[in-house]
Structure 1
Amino acid sequence: MTSWKDLAFDTDAIIDGLKPWIECESPTWDAAAVNRMMDIVAVDCANLGAYIERIPGSMGFGGSVRARFPHPDMDKPGIMVSGHFDTVHPIGTLAQNPFRREDGKVYGPGIQDMKGGNFITLTAMKALLDAGIQTKLPVTFLFTPDEEVGTPSTRTLIETEGKRAKYVLCPEPALPDNGVCTGRYAIARFRITATGKPSHAGARLKDGVSAVRELAKRIIEIEEMTSDSCTFSCNNISSGQWVNCVPSFAAADCLSMSKTQADLDAGVEKMLALSGERNGVTLKVERTFTRPIWEDGQPETMALYEKAKAISAEVGLDMPHASQGGGADTNFTGALRIASLCDLGLWGNGLHTLTEHIEADMIVPRTRIMAGLLATLD
């Protein structure tokens, strides 16, 4: 009888199959681009015999794809594979970081975070189906469009699907040395707006109060609140376009990462306390989206981790684990105490940059580990 251990995977074939996914650029804020990517994914899943649901987007984001694979026990809790297809890279990044294989690395926007991990998971599922290996549990893939901005439109969808599952597998980028993630820090996002007083910057400079100047000072102060347990980072800064006007409006987004619930609560309190007037400028701080703490060491997650570690050992690799910063959709499922394992995707470097890549020699081992998980979890 064929076992998952007998499956053959080919690095070159996987890289060739990944190419159209990488060359379909899909930045979060471009709903049409994300939907084009979801079209490709839906067809690939349908070609494997999955039942496809296209879930319309909301809040200006693209839609989602849910693919349920036929199984005798489809009505029972099974395996949920959770992944996102949006990236941080704007349309045109492909020209700067084209899909290519060089010196043992495979490059392209979104290849590590997380199209590569999604692709090897689907490749593992295909290999099981082609070999006639029935998974012990029903398998559902849920692909979403807005993870890179905090999952504002699909959090409820992920949580709802997660509650139907016994296990959640998330192929976000691997940790070093074949590592996986068994917990994640919380992430809180904030919108900061500053309101000053306008004037002509040439003829009446002293009549105005610059919102930009005050916001710049506040950003420095915010980022200097960073500690080992709670970090603060600001970006997406905007204001008026006329340099001959003293700016009466400025805005920025802030992201805070916390290791514990107490750290999260304290960081939120510090940020919200910044609201008020100073130097003639009114500052307003609003909390937008939060990824909850997924506490490390939960028994249900560690039991799942031990299963993955044993499969990895059969592949010939150790599998360390860690709690990790950087948000993922397992923040939601882990916080609900659903057995979740993250960072099951591909190892590489340069994620969110113009050098984003994966290591080619880890493609097959990680695909084999995923096949083992899908085949043996019960």
Structure 2
Amino acid sequence: MTKDPVDLPFDADEMLEGLRLWVETESPTFDAAAVNRMMDVAQHDLAALGARVERIPGRMGLGDSVRATMPHPRAGEGGILVLGHLDTVHPVGTLEKLPFRREGNLCYGPGIMDMKGGNYVYLEAMRRILAAGIETPLPVTFLFTPDEEIGTPMARRLIEMEAARHQYILVPEPARPDGGAVIGRYAIARFNLQTRGRPSHAGWALSEGRSAIAEMARNVAVIEGMTNEDCTFSVGVINAGKWVNCVSSVCDAEVLTMAKTQELLDEGVAEMMALNSTEGDVIMEVRRGVTRPVWEPDQPGTMAMLQVARAIAGDIGFELPAGSAGGGSDGNFTGFMGLPTLDSIGVRGKGLHTLNEHIEIDSLVERARLAAGLYCRLGA
């Protein structure tokens, strides 16, 4: 049997068969029970490899995390950490509109690109390595978390404490549009907004009311108008009103800000906080939510990892461009900590967070070989 991990007998059809259960186990972040069903699936597959698996209870009404230490003579020591999330943005029932299906070189399904496909591929690479009797230079640990899609408010500390033990961090988020990896990420900040007005009967005494919805709508235009190429503002959630015949007294909203540098993030935060208002008939309260720090590119450890990955990709037969990116991931945290981190090394695809989410099937074997190569060459 071959001992070159790049040439292990990966099979796309087999991977799709295993990945199907992952995709069809819907796991939206805010449904802790659904996320935990997905953690059950992952825990089973990890245990089947002989891993020592730990279930870490969730907090804040969120799901659990799973940490798995792969079989190795030095198991438990710091080595390579595979860091991924198993929550998605798709509510339970999305499978009715976006069923798991294969069409030519594409395979569709909720969360298949972001990021169940990449997580499964890196697990499959480890399965093949163990089956071949290959001993990796460093022990490998997997950490799957439940809340990345909402900024990782609960699991961040767990991620940081676990990552600090390891020499290398692999984040199999989906590949960039050009198939490349991510070696730095922009900062992401979230904000919670609330306008509070004065209720009244919308038909009987409209003029006596002061609409919280109207004030929020005015601010939406102001906030999104602050966007430029280097710092963006997006209002993604608005909740208000229960009765159409009542002037709304409360309106809540959530805003996401992306900035390319810490300085720009600080300026964006200041602009948002300046919207606080306690005067007038309708007041605006702005509260800062979770933040993903800037992960500066070109860190020596990360660049050294990239060179290893590029050599492996060359052996496989593809190029691996790399650069900084927006979007945010848990790689922001490990990169910010200065830990060698290679992000977006998962499957290729398009349409993440939409009802057109899909992966390119031929990227399954390609990325599994990349994963196997990284496991066997990092630390060698």
Opposite residue 15 of structure 2, the aligned amino acid is I
The structural deviation recorded for 1:77 is: 2.2
TM-score normalised per structure 1: 0.99
More off after superposition, 169-178 vs 62-71? 169-178
Structure 1: how far apart are the matches of 2:72 and 2:127? 14
The structural deviation recorded for 1:70 is: 2.2
> Are the counterparts in 1 of residues 6 and 370 from structure 2 also a CA contact under 8 Å?
no
- Write out per-residue CA displacement over residues 146-197 of structure 1, whole angstroms, 9 at most, x where no aligned residue: 0000000000000000100100000000113331000000000000000001
> Are the counterparts in 2 of residues 79 and 139 from structure 1 also a CA contact under 8 Å?
yes
The residue that corresponds to 1:124 in the other structure is: 125
Structure 1: how far apart are the matches of 2:113 and 2:177? 13
The residue that corresponds to 2:136 in the other structure is: 135
The residue that corresponds to 2:362 in the other structure is: 361
- Write out per-residue CA displacement over residues 88-124 of structure 1, whole angstroms, 9 at most, x where no aligned residue: 0001100101001002100000000000000000000
Q: SS at 2:178's partner residue?
A: helix
> Are the counterparts in 2 of residues 81 and 142 from structure 1 also a CA contact under 8 Å?
yes
Q: SS at 1:62's partner residue?
A: coil
- Write out per-residue CA displacement over residues 321-362 of structure 1, whole angstroms, 9 at most, x where no aligned residue: 010000100100000000000001111101000000001111
The residue that corresponds to 1:104 in the other structure is: 105
The reply to whether residue 212 of structure 1 matches residue 219 of structure 2 is: no
> Are the counterparts in 1 of residues 193 and 287 from structure 2 also a CA contact under 8 Å?
yes
Report matched runs for 1:38-57 at 5 Å. 38-57=39-58
The residue that corresponds to 1:222 in the other structure is: 223
Opposite residue 101 of structure 2, the aligned amino acid is R
The residue that corresponds to 1:341 in the other structure is: 342
> Are the counterparts in 2 of residues 214 and 279 from structure 1 also a CA contact under 8 Å?
no
The residue that corresponds to 2:23 in the other structure is: 22
Report matched runs for 1:142-153 at 5 Å. 142-153=143-154
The structural deviation recorded for 1:74 is: 2.8
- Write out per-residue CA displacement over residues 34-79 of structure 1, whole angstroms, 9 at most, x where no aligned residue: 0000000000000000000000010010000000012222343200
The residue that corresponds to 1:327 in the other structure is: 328
Structure 2: how far apart are the matches of 1:323 and 1:365? 22
Structure 2's unaligned 5+ residue stretches are: none
> Are the counterparts in 1 of residues 69 and 76 from structure 2 also a CA contact under 8 Å?
no
The structural deviation recorded for 1:278 is: 5.9
* Sequence identity percentage: 54
Q: SS at 1:176's partner residue?
A: coil
The structural deviation recorded for 1:279 is: 5.2
Number of residue-to-residue matches in the alignment: 378
Q: CA RMSD in A?
A: 0.9
> Are the counterparts in 1 of residues 190 and 288 from structure 2 also a CA contact under 8 Å?
yes
The residue that corresponds to 1:306 in the other structure is: 307
> Are the counterparts in 1 of residues 7 and 369 from structure 2 also a CA contact under 8 Å?
no
Structure 1: how far apart are the matches of 2:155 and 2:180? 27
The structural deviation recorded for 1:277 is: 3.9
> Are the counterparts in 2 of residues 209 and 281 from structure 1 also a CA contact under 8 Å?
yes
> Are the counterparts in 2 of residues 178 and 317 from structure 1 also a CA contact under 8 Å?
no
Opposite residue 202 of structure 1, the aligned amino acid is G
Structure 1: how far apart are the matches of 2:118 and 2:296? 23
More off after superposition, 66-75 vs 92-101? 66-75
The reply to whether residue 35 of structure 1 matches residue 36 of structure 2 is: yes
Structure 2: how far apart are the matches of 1:329 and 1:284? 28
> Are the counterparts in 1 of residues 195 and 251 from structure 2 also a CA contact under 8 Å?
yes
Seen in structure 2, the aligned counterparts of structure 1 residues 201 and 144 have a Cα distance that, compared at 3 Å, is same
The residue that corresponds to 2:190 in the other structure is: 189
> Are the counterparts in 2 of residues 234 and 254 from structure 1 also a CA contact under 8 Å?
yes
> Are the counterparts in 2 of residues 113 and 351 from structure 1 also a CA contact under 8 Å?
yes
